[in-house]
Amino acid sequence: MKLNIAALSAAALASLVSLPAHAVVEIQWWHSMELALGERVNEMARQFNASQTEYKVVPVFKGNYAESMAAGVAAYRGGNAPHIIQVFEVGTATMMNAKGVIKPVEELMKESGEKFDRSSFVPAVAGYYTSSKGEMLSFPFNSSTTVMYYNKDTFAKAGLDPAKPPTTWQELTGMAAKIKASGEKCPYTTSWQAWIHIESFSTLHNVEFASKNNGFGGLDTRLMFNSPLHVKHIENLSNWAKQGLFSYSGRKDEGNARFFSGECAILTASSGAYGNILKNAKFKFSVAPLPYYNDAPGAPQNPVLGGASLWVMGGKKKEEYKAVAKFLSYLSQPEVQAKWHQETGYLPITMAAFELTQKSGFYDKNPGTDVAAKQMIVKTTDKSRGIRLGNMLQIRDVEDQELENVWNGKKTPKEALDDAVKRGNDLLDKFQKANKS
Amino acid sequence: MEKRARFSSRWLPYALVAPQIAITCIFFFWPAGQALWQSTLVQDAFGTQTEFVGLENFKALWNDPLYLASFKTTAQFSVLVAVVGMAVALLLAVFADRIMRGSGFYRTLLIWPYAVSAVVAGALWMFLFSPSLGLVAIALRHLGVDWNHNSNSHQAMTLIVIAAVWKQISYNFLFFLAGLQSIPKSLIEAAAIDGAGPLRRFIDIVFPLLSPTSFFLLVVNLVYAFFDTFAIIDVTTHGGPGTDTVILVYKVYMDGFKGQDLGGSAAQSVVLMVLVIALTVVQFRFVEKKVNY
């Protein structure tokens, strides 16, 4: 027994002595990356942890975006928020307006003495997460945008040129009619209807989705997506549905499966769907930019940005912030970024990562993977920079609900969009009241 | 007959019920009180800015025509779930009660769905009825029914009722079966000797004797339909098409957990709480009078 106590105290003493060397600062990183994406995230953390001995990043999967954000809010209220939390674009305004809850990334990097150059990011991506005062608030992580996929085999069967996808909605209608005539039941479908046909549609045509630069200019923003151009597009979709050219699949990504199973010939979806489609499609397909109306002035601008960014939570210790800064520096490296972009189909976030991927010949070997990136590497306008609205999750629900009211014939496109704007404005009003100062 | 229990100590009965009361206070009264308080506040998601607004959140609800419409949807949904669920379960229980051989096997199978979580139940039925891939949807198409619950409101309602009922049938079945087995065989045999057929015996003897079970199940099923079904809706229809399958509790969940609007969500849950308390009181006052214990 005596011996044991001696051994114990020796061990305790040893651990005391060696404490400074082993005082690893642990960082909690909450994310929503499932399956293969989750493995990539774990690998990133593992490689960072192996690259040095002072800090340790612990990635934790917290459910889908909405669930993980709810968990983050609850944890903050309970006083034990994680250091880094991945929040989807829909939650951006909520995070930005939460005073003192978050630590702006640019401020964090400066305080920790890490190099941080805003201009190294793709402008459309950086602009989305930059405050009205010009400070980058969160770290862009996985960004995606809207693209079109089409089945080359079906195109050939319908007598269309598989190398020439439709570039405009007018062209798409003509081709869809030919595809239908060739015996196909579903010429065109879409995933994420609200994101693609209202939000991305607005930025692509350089028309306002909401006033005050889509909410970038202040909380007193109001929705504007019942313009004649928007109404015309929804009317067209509704007519195509009646003619059997467009088939509605659901609010989320249900359209993807109908495309890669070969049922639908053309699909508009997230650029992030590429990997999944590639894995499942048993036919030749290609990626093309989102169609637009060529009689609309200013089109095509750029489609809207989606995906998520990393937010650093406030009220943490100085050495923990240093660890977070080191980790974000690690993530910014072109090699890390390029690998993430190539393996996942998400957009390259820095120009260096895009150029590195280009130089490596990746785009030549995988045609179509550069479509999303090329759509976004343009100079954005006040109307196309992005959408930053409070209560956006509910607003998107409202868009979905009212669009469904068009598809099932309950409302005309004009009525539905007017109602959506009215209901959405009530939500914006509510958010403005809750975030006054 | 003296029904009152006698205790040697005055404090013993209180001590015995204390755990139950403590649980009720911690898990019911405390959160309910917090919901009441939260419903009078407007707060940002992280709770950094809080403002007392009195009944403002409730006023906003009454001015929202969609919220009022969701009462109708909820009523329709819960009546369908309770009636269909109990009817099917009663039918199954009556048959299971008659089976002589292999009854354990049938009963186990019928009780199984209860172990399935609501999310899984919803996902299961969503896949079966998925318009382009679902087995049932494809079978229906061969029968000439164009199934697409994404754009047809009646089909969407049918789908969530089927999923919710399927999940609850086991529970109802179990209670009905127990109820049936507690009916004295002598009563039924006496009626049979008097010449009553199976249907007559069921209507005049079995069903009245089952009325306490039925009443209990009615309360439980309505509460189930009101509160425990949001997961099913979340995975099958998301409240669509339009807002045609948005029931009250689903809106509470959406606004509170996904939208981070705690004040508005709390106000809705207070309304829901009042509604269910009122319903239960009505049931105990009026329906219970027709129950023979």
pLDDT in tens, A18-57: 444 557 899 999 999 987 788 999 999 999 999 999 999 9
Kindly list the distances between the CA atom of residue A216 and the CA atoms of A126, A129, A181, A208, A209, in Å, as whole numbers in the listed order. 13, 10, 46, 12, 11
Query: Does A126 have pLDDT greater than 70?
Result: yes
pLDDT tens, A335-387?
999 999 988 888 999 999 999 999 999 999 888 888 988 888 888 888 998 99
- Which residues in chain A are closer than 8 Å to B260, comparing Cβ atoms? 69-70, 73, 94
Phi/psi-derived region of residue A313, left when phi > 0, alpha when psi is between -120 and 50, beta in every other case: beta
The residue in chain A having the minimum alpha-carbon distance to the alpha carbon of residue B47 is A77
Query: Does A217 have pLDDT greater than 70?
Result: yes
Sorted by sequence, the CB contacts under 8 Å of residue A214 that are 6+ apart come out as A202, A203, A208, A221, A383, A385, A386, A387, A388, A389
Say if residues A63 and A71 touch (Cβ distance below 8 Å).
yes
**How far apart are the C-alpha atoms of A93 and A140, rounded to whole Å?**
15
Considering A29-38, A236-245, A268-277, B57-66, the range whose residues carry the highest mean pLDDT is A236-245
- Which residues in chain A are closer than 8 Å to B43, comparing Cβ atoms? 434
The residue in chain A having the minimum alpha-carbon distance to the alpha carbon of residue B262 is A434
Q: What is the pLDDT of residue A1?
A: 43
Q: What is the pLDDT of residue B293?
A: 64
Q: Give the sign of the dihedral formed by CA B29, CA B30, CA B31, CA B34.
A: positive
The residue in chain A having the minimum alpha-carbon distance to the alpha carbon of residue B237 is A250
Considering A123-137, A380-394, B72-86, B139-153, the range whose residues carry the highest mean pLDDT is B72-86
For A142-166, what is the mean pLDDT? 95
Q: Provide the mean pLDDT of chain A.
A: 90
Residue type, A245: L
- List beta partners, residue A55: A25
The residue in chain B having the minimum alpha-carbon distance to the alpha carbon of residue A90 is B259
Closest approach of chain B CAs to the CA of A437, in angstroms? 9
For B235-259, what is the mean pLDDT? 90
Q: What is the pLDDT of residue A64?
A: 86
Residue A194 near chain B (CB below 8 Å): no
- At B272, phi and psi to the nearest 5? -65, -40
Q: What is the largest CA-CA distance in chain B?
A: 76
For A246-255, what is the mean pLDDT? 91
pLDDT tens, B27-52?
999 999 999 999 999 888 888 888 89
Residue type, B125: W
Token pair in block for residue A293: 């109306």
DSSP string, B159-187: HHHHHHHHHHHHHHHHHHHHHHHTS-HHH
For A239-247, what is the mean pLDDT? 95
Q: What is the pLDDT of residue A20?
A: 47
**How far apart are the C-alpha atoms of B271 and B274, rounded to whole Å?**
5
More confident residue, A437 or A46: A46
Question: How many contiguous H segments (helices) and E segments (strands) does chain B have?
Answer: 14, 2
How large is the C-alpha radius of gyration of chain B? Answer: 23
- Which residues in chain A are closer than 8 Å to B62, comparing Cβ atoms? none
B269 — pLDDT class (breaks 50, 70, 90): very high
Q: What is the pLDDT of residue B146?
A: 87
Considering A162-176, A339-353, B261-275, the range whose residues carry the highest mean pLDDT is A162-176
Q: What is the pLDDT of residue A7?
A: 55
Q: What is the pLDDT of residue B279?
A: 85
Residue A75 near chain B (CB below 8 Å): no
DSSP code of residue A347: P
Residue B58 near chain A (CB below 8 Å): no
A5 — pLDDT class (breaks 50, 70, 90): low
> What is residue A58's three-state secondary structure?
strand
DSSP string, A111-171: HTT----GGGB-HHHHHHTB-TTS-B-SEEEEEE-EEEEEEHHHHHHTT--TT----BHHH
B2 — pLDDT class (breaks 50, 70, 90): low
Sorted by sequence, the CB contacts under 8 Å of residue A365 that are 6+ apart come out as none
Residue A257 near chain B (CB below 8 Å): yes
Closest approach of chain A CAs to the CA of B151, in angstroms? 5
Q: What angle do CA B277, B278, B283 make, to 5 degrees?
A: 100
- List beta partners, residue A311: A85
DSSP code of residue A103: E
For A60-89, what is the mean pLDDT? 91
CB-CB under 8 Å, B42 with A77: no
CB-CB under 8 Å, B132 with A263: yes
With a pLDDT cut of 90, the percent of chain B lying above it is 50
B70 — pLDDT class (breaks 50, 70, 90): very high
For A279-290, what is the mean pLDDT? 93
**A134-138, A171-175, A414-418: least confident range:** A134-138
The residue in chain B having the minimum alpha-carbon distance to the alpha carbon of residue A262 is B132
Residue A66 near chain B (CB below 8 Å): yes
With a pLDDT cut of 70, the percent of chain A lying above it is 95
Closest approach of chain B CAs to the CA of A36, in angstroms? 22
Q: What is the pLDDT of residue A22?
A: 57
